[in-house]
Amino acid sequence: MRRELLQQVRRVVIKVGSRVLTVEGGGLDYDAITRLCDEMAGLRQQGIEVILVSSGAVAAGRDALRSADTTLTIPQKQAAAAVGQPLLMQAYQQACTRHGLVTAQILLTAEDLANRNRFLNARTTLEALLTAGALPVINENDSVAVAEIKFGDNDNLSALVTSLAEADLLLILTDIEGLYSANPASDPAAELIPLVRSITREIERMAGGSGSNVGTGGMATKVTAAKKSARFGVPTILAPGKQPGVISAAVSGQEIGTLFLPATDGLNRRKHWIAYTLRPAGKVLVDAGAQRALVEKGTSLLPSGITGVEGRFERGRCVRICGPDGAEIARGLADYSSSEIQLIAGHKSAEIEQLLGYRYGDDVVHRDNLVLINSI
């Protein structure tokens, strides 16, 4: 069953916690980083795209600064992250070079992803990096993020990145085997739970609080991250990051760690959100050919089939898509603003760059962000 579910995986977000990346007593574990990079390069060779969400900056920085303080203040942590982040990237870059793999750093705050424009910009940057064959390495932008603009922990960040990148698997690598029925450190009867069909209160209770003082996330934040990605229709695997071969074992569907199944209505929720929650900010008119392609083939909306635009809207807003008779056929999130659409309407996607001087992508509305009216 795992194998079947995971066969479809083409893009995975891998989250690695500080405990997996550091040696006992602090400092980066270069052997672990090398092994993880070898395994991620292996996935890329199989045609699976990888986005890494990595912690470890604060731990690496704290070690480099030789700080004697056992507990750091928030500014001290931010300073440690600023010192540690380049060390972390250097370690990834060095380990990836052997595979001809280039790494790219993206630092985000929660505020960035809450803003629709920045969300879309981060998405298109990620797409461009993956297309170029690079390994995006994402972390929270700790030096600017304080409480109200923070993700709080990288487990939460990894769930949001899963939705941002429209990945089809979230793999969280941590310092224990997976989710246990009780805390394995204190309860000898605790058992590993291999499969979670639905994240109930009972499951959340089992996850308890944080068990480690190196990273900020405990089991509870991992289960919350799994719950979030389940809502997007994406499975999560929680697996032991120090175990050699863990990445390929998990992605190929071997019984390792805990698999959280996606919610069955995951996709519908998003479609409902687009169709019902968002207020359309304008109209995009399309010709009969585009209407057929959208309705019968489920394609994205390209500029070539657009005959006109009504209303003024920014990129990222929800728009009505109307056929030649004026009736609404679909709703979706526009990747271009109304004034940009005016300029590219009726033209081939290949001409966008020439017409605007830049391009976000080929589609005006990507099919993942498009809901047919008759399907809801």
Instruction: State the residues that interact with ligand GLU by CB under 6 A.
Output: 18, 55-59, 81, 139-140, 142, 153-154, 215-217
Nearer to ligand GLU, 224 or 369 (CB): 224
Q: From the CB of 152, what's the least distance to ligand GLU, in Å?
A: 8
**How far apart are alpha carbons 316 and 335 in whole angstroms?**
6
Q: Which is nearer to ligand GLU, 217 or 262 (CB)?
A: 217
- Which structure tokens are listed for 2? 């795992």
Q: How far is the CB of 50 from ligand GLU (least distance, A)?
A: 18
Smallest gap, in angstroms, from Cβ of residue 108 to ligand GLU? 10
Residue 215 or 241 having the CB closest to ligand GLU = 215
Distance of CA 190 to the CA centre of its chain: 31
**In the numeric block, which tokens belong to residue 226?**
């799994």
Q: For ligand GLU, give the closer residue by CB, 221 or 291.
A: 221
- Closest to ligand GLU by CB, 151 vs 313, is 151
Helix and strand totals (H; E) in the chain: 15, 13
Query: 332: part of which helix (H) or strand (E)?
Result: strand 328-333
Q: Which is nearer to ligand GLU, 37 or 275 (CB)?
A: 37
Q: Which tokens belong to 168?
A: 């089809």
Q: Are 292 and 264 in contact (CB under 8 A)?
A: no
Nearest-approach distance from CB 36 to ligand GLU, in angstroms: 15
The angle, 0 to 180 degrees and rounded to 10, between the axes of the packed helices 154-164 and 116-131 is 80
Nearest approach, Cβ of 344 to ligand GLU (angstroms)? 39
Q: Report which of 359, 301, 311 is spatially closest to residue 331, judged by C-alpha positions.
A: 301
Q: How far does Cα 172 stand from its chain's mean position?
A: 12
Give the SS3 label for residue 361. coil
Closest distance of CB 154 from ligand GLU, Å: 4
Nearer to ligand GLU, 28 or 199 (CB): 28
Beta strands in 110-183 (DSSP E): 135-140, 169-174
Closest CA to 170 of 12, 55, 295, 54: 12
Q: How far is the CB of 53 from ligand GLU (least distance, A)?
A: 9
| The two three-digit tokens of residue 132, written as one number | 């170029």
